[in-house]
Structure 1
């Protein structure tokens, strides 16, 4: 089913990640962008916090109404993060 055929409740609960090689990542279910720069994006999704790392990263598309985002650049990693984005591993372990 396409995004156009979903009602607001379905969009809020839906989350997909689609990568085209390592040069673009398209996402649905993105609630907000917490932080970003050319090497890292930190996103809040309906399924939790998502960190995307790479080089030359930039936001190609972000639609808050549809909860869709597209990021392009060289993607080297993406991972879901438990807890907050605020502290590094070393600060949490002390």
Structure 2
């Protein structure tokens, strides 16, 4: 990740537990109906749930949206998961 990518904004906006909108998305590494692994400018982000589907993915503006029943999301550093709330403190 270069310095330019680190200066970009990264936001996570949830609507209840039914959808999440992300900015600063570099790529979607893998996904299925229960888990997405997304590389963002702030690191890799896992989104877990049921019935998950990609609603929107814009590679130019680095935005993504996921719908479904979201049960968890966490940033993953060196193979271990850290919850969003622990990482943000």
Name the TM-score class by shorter chain.
0.7 to 0.9
CA displacement at 1:16 relative to structure 2: 0.2
Q: Which residue of 2 aligns with 1:33?
A: 28
Which whole-Å CA distance do the structure 1 matches of 2:34 and 2:47 have between them? 8
- Structure 2 residue 36 is matched with structure 1 residue 46: no
CA displacement at 1:83 relative to structure 2: 1.7
CA-to-aligned-CA distance 1:61-86 (integer Å, 9 cap, x gap): 0000000000000000000000258x
Aligned length: 77
TM-score (norm 1): 0.76
Larger strand share, 1 or 2: 2
Counterpart pick for 2:55 among 56, 60, 63 = 60
- Structure 2 residue 64 is matched with structure 1 residue 79: no
TM-score (norm 2): 0.81
Larger helix share, 1 or 2: 1
Which whole-Å CA distance do the structure 1 matches of 2:68 and 2:16 have between them? 11
Which whole-Å CA distance do the structure 2 matches of 1:83 and 1:65 have between them? 27
